[in-house]
A and B are shown apart, each in its own frame.
Chain A
Amino acid sequence: MTPALLPLVRPALREALRGRWLLGLMLGLMLVGELLLRFGGGGPTTLVSMLDVVLILTPLVGLVFGTLQLHHGREFTELLLAQPVRRTRLFAVLYLGAAVPLAAALAVGVLAPFAWHGNLGGAGAGRVLALAGAAVVLALVSTALAFVIALAADDRVRALGLALALWLVAAVLWDGLLLLVAMGFGNRPIEVPLLVLLGLNPIDLTRVLLLLGTDAAALLGYTGALAQRVLGDAAGRAVLGVLLTGWLVVPLVAARRAFVRKDF
């Protein structure tokens, strides 16, 4: 992001902040966090519960609103494209205008309850910050994927349907698929297929990356338990980090390319 983009993104930020849905999302997250902290005991399980909320909610919101935003603003985008501005630059403006407010709302919504319960100083602070970081990364990834979908499907309803289907597969059905594969492999080594399946799902990648090295890994279903064994060292983490970065970069490059070539 070059500094010259800032004055362009600012109106989009202001626009997003005046929209109420972001505020609602932020307050909703705060409420969930508050309830979990108040009644969940405040231990590591609270963090894991909050992580689950973030992992389910963030991709859904990012995919749906990213898709809608690009389609909804279509006529306005045409007006902006009629200005003396390169399409690559305008793409950056549109993407940042959609992803940054979402990421910010999620980060604040996640952090605030932990902050006012005094969990942001001290030993557990790193974990909480990592959770907020996960929300931010997933917001960026899902918005990029939403842009790919919105640019590929000109029909708004179809684009929304694709976005929801992608969310359903990645957030809900994937762990079941993993379990099926694992069972199918029986006693044979399953490290490689597990890694492949993990790499194919940014939500699982984020989850495993966050839970590695914590006792909570075993709590979190099949993926978590196995990943702890296979990927628990620094090299494993590095691989996961690279894969997750790929999930941001590849869709962004694809969406940018589609945007530059598109007829409006």
Chain B
Amino acid sequence: MIAAHGVSKRFGRRQVIDGLEAEVATGRITALVGPNGAGKTTFLKVLLGLVRPDAGCVAVDGHALDGSAAYRAAIGYMPQIARFPAYASGRDLLDLLRALRGGTEEPDLSLAEAFGLGDGLDRPVGVLSGGMRQKVNAVLAFAFQPRLLILDEPTAGLDPLGCRILKDRVLAERAIGTTVLITSHVLPELEELADDVLLLGDGRTTWSGSVHDLKVITGAVTLERAVAGLLADRPMTGAGR
């Protein structure tokens, strides 16, 4: 679904991504993990066309990223920080995204129903709690039949029930063949979701492969311990730079 070759990006004097090679398999859930400053967010932004790499090539669903916008019709993106215009309601936002997408797709509101958002979609997001806003954020990402879901810390701010519902939806999406790329600082969150792991460090791929292989290699029982084991083997000298 995603293939990145030799991708580099420099912001000022900081080399955020440095010759990144990465593959994300179609129809699987890939956990994008790594220490702070490893380049996770920048990599996601490259995939979304928000950031243009200085070098290298990226293909999403067979389309090489060249500045055109059409490939993003297949992407559902849930940003880490959901700051919406305070006066807009969830429904206004859905209308806006629908119009931006050509105005032909009816939004799928089943996630809103599962969350029990009720009239939360009709109230201005400014008056909603952080958790409710995050639910609106999720509803927007899942609303237009995505073939690729990019979820940046999706469970941040959600209550346990909300987390459960969101995870169930992610698993349901995988069951119908959707590719999911997900980041989280809370690795146990990813335990029951992730099929594959893409571990970044210093703007490169430190390790990538299936969760099963990772656990075998490191001899760890949980994803968190396995990733920690990898990090301990290869200390990230530049982490947090």
Contacts and interface: CB of A to CB of B under 8 A. Distances in A.
Nearest to A16: B87
Contact of B87 (A15, A81, A87): A15
Contacts of B45: 78, 263-264
Interface string B104-122: 0000000000000000000
Interface residues of B, number: 36
Which among B9, B68, B83 has the highest number of chain A CB atoms within 10 Å? B83
B175 interface: no
A84 interface: yes
A78 B50 contact: yes
B81 A15 contact: no
Given A8-B99, A11-B88, A82 B81 contact: no
A7 B99 contact: yes
A264 B51 contact: yes
Which among B73, B77, B100, B140 has the highest number of chain A CB atoms within 10 Å? B100
Interface residues of A, number: 24
Contacts of B77: 79, 82
B95 A11 contact: yes
A188 interface: no
A19 B81 CA distance: 22
B178 to A, nearest CB: 16
Nearest to B48: A82
B49 A263 contact: no
Interface string A238-249: 000000000000
A78 B137 CA distance: 13
A230 to B, nearest CB: 47
Contact of A75 (B70, B79, B102, B150): B79
Contacts of A90: 100
B207 interface: no
Contacts of B70: 84
A264 B100 contact: no
B48 A76 contact: no
Contacts of A14: 87-88, 92
Given A263-B11, A263-B50, A82 B72 contact: yes
A85 B124 CA distance: 25
11 contacts: A8-B100, A11-B88, A11-B95, A18-B87, A73-B85, A75-B82, A78-B79, A82-B50, A84-B71, A263-B51, A264-B45
Interface of B: 9, 11, 45, 48-52, 68-73, 75, 77, 79, 81-85, 87-88, 92, 95-97, 99-103, 124, 140, 150
